[in-house]
Chain A
Amino acid sequence: MNLLSLFRRGSAPVARERLQILLAHERETRDQPDLLGVLREEILAVIARHVAFDPDKVQITMDRGSTVSTLAVDIEIPNRRRASGAASQQLSQLAFTAKTATARSQWTNGLV
């Protein structure tokens, strides 16, 4: 304790709190398989049963908030109405493909 410290509060309490929140989460998930990887595989398997898409055109992101976490799955699906005819047409159509479907789900923080 000195005179300077009366005017300035240390950052150690912030460090402590950040670590406690982070480690509580990391300990929970430590020995579990990679949740995001498993979700990705299973979600894509379900969608692939109904629509054709390029697995490389899939983005899965997770944002952990303090009360709610968001899992967003963005999948680019080729436009079906134009996807008919010769192979050469299909290739050019793929280049024009727009994002036509977005699945967006929310889970509560406890789950993810």
Chain B
Amino acid sequence: MSDEKSGRVVVVTSGKGGVGKTTSTASLGAALAHLGQKVVVIDFDVGLRNLDLVLGAERRVVFDLINVINGVAKLPQALIKDKRLENLFLLPASQTRDKDALTEEGVAKVIAELRTKFDWIVCDSPAGIERGATLAMRHADSAIIVTNPEVSSVRDSDRIIGLLDSKTEKAERGECVDKHLLITRYHPWRAARGEMLSIDDVLDILSIPLIGIIPESEEVLRASNVGSPVTLNAPLSAPAKAYFDATKRLKGEQIAMHIPTESRGLFNKLFGRKAA
């Protein structure tokens, strides 16, 4: 942590819970670190932390974000270095229920300090639109809006886009947070049969640029079971490839978008129903 950096702050948000914010934060963070970037992922879900678990660092948490804000611990003491990727760090959330400990000034100070030490600061937002969620997006330069092709998720994403355009520091300065849509849990065969909103449907409705499409996959579940991001645990799997492509787009690279398609045999195509 010698040379001074000017890191970019990215919030991973969605409004709705259970759409894949934490999984995506871990996967994108690990992919960025794998590509040589120095990354810290921050869990803003005070009281219900899970990023530590998805990253396999749950038994190494000593201090957390609230401890740093309260001055109980210094920032370097609270950062947990990943055992597999030397560029990846985690700042865990507190398990205490005292959400008021997350202060605006405290978060601003922590983010400002992290900017000088990391290339990327990835903030994992809690669900909802309360304090934790608004503070997670407060200092963001960019936002990744995680959306499932499903009505309630799309509606909540639209609400979050509204907040990103009004409640962030950038918005208050008259600027605009870069917004990227990450569609997760996409079932190609369901979309093809008109049972699920298609990529075009979601893009038409939300009208923000697409950064990636993550297909529904057992590899994602397996990765969180073993506490390793899918981009690290199964880097050649379809979801990991999609996360790597999204990561490169986040870095500004031009990568052609790959829309997942059905890959089933003739019999299944004619009569089948793929078990999810």
Contact = CB atoms under 8 A, between A and B. Distances in A.
A15 B197 contact: yes
Contacts of B204: 16
Given A3-B270, A16-B205, A23 B194 contact: no
Contacts of B195: 10-12
A17 to B, nearest CB: 10
Nearest to B196: A12
Interface of A: 1-5, 9-13, 15-16, 18-20, 22-23, 26-27, 30-31
A1 B194 CA distance: 9
B194 A22 contact: no
B270 A22 contact: no
Q: Counting chain A CB atoms within 10 Å of each CB, which of B150, B155, B194 scores highest?
A: B194
Interface stretch (B111-119, B130-138, B158-166): B158-166
A13 B205 contact: no
Given A19-B151, A20-B205, A23-B155, A12 B197 contact: yes
A23 to B, nearest CB: 5
A9 B196 CA distance: 11
Contacts of A11: 194-195
A31 B166 CA distance: 9
A26 B158 contact: yes
B192 interface: yes
Given A16-B205, A23-B205, A26-B158, A10 B151 contact: no
A10 B191 CA distance: 9
Interface string B182-195: 00000000011111
- Interface residue SS majority, chain B: helix
| B contact residues, range | 20 to 34
Give 10 nearest A-B pairs by CB, closest first: A10-B194, A10-B195, A16-B201, A12-B194, A5-B193, A30-B162, A15-B151, A23-B158, A12-B197, A19-B205
18 contacts: A1-B192, A1-B193, A2-B193, A2-B272, A4-B193, A4-B271, A12-B195, A15-B150, A15-B197, A15-B201, A16-B197, A16-B201, A16-B204, A18-B151, A23-B155, A23-B205, A27-B158, A31-B166
B175 to A, nearest CB: 18
Interface in B224-276: 269-273
A3 B271 contact: yes
Contact of A19 (B154, B194, B198): B154
Interface string B201-238: 10011000000000000000000000000000000000
Contacts of A4: 193, 271, 273
Given A13-B194, A18-B151, 6 more contacts: A2-B269, A9-B194, A12-B198, A15-B201, A16-B197, A20-B205
Interface in B97-150: 150
Nearest to B205: A19
Contacts of B194: 5, 9-13
A2 B270 CA distance: 5
Contacts of B198: 12
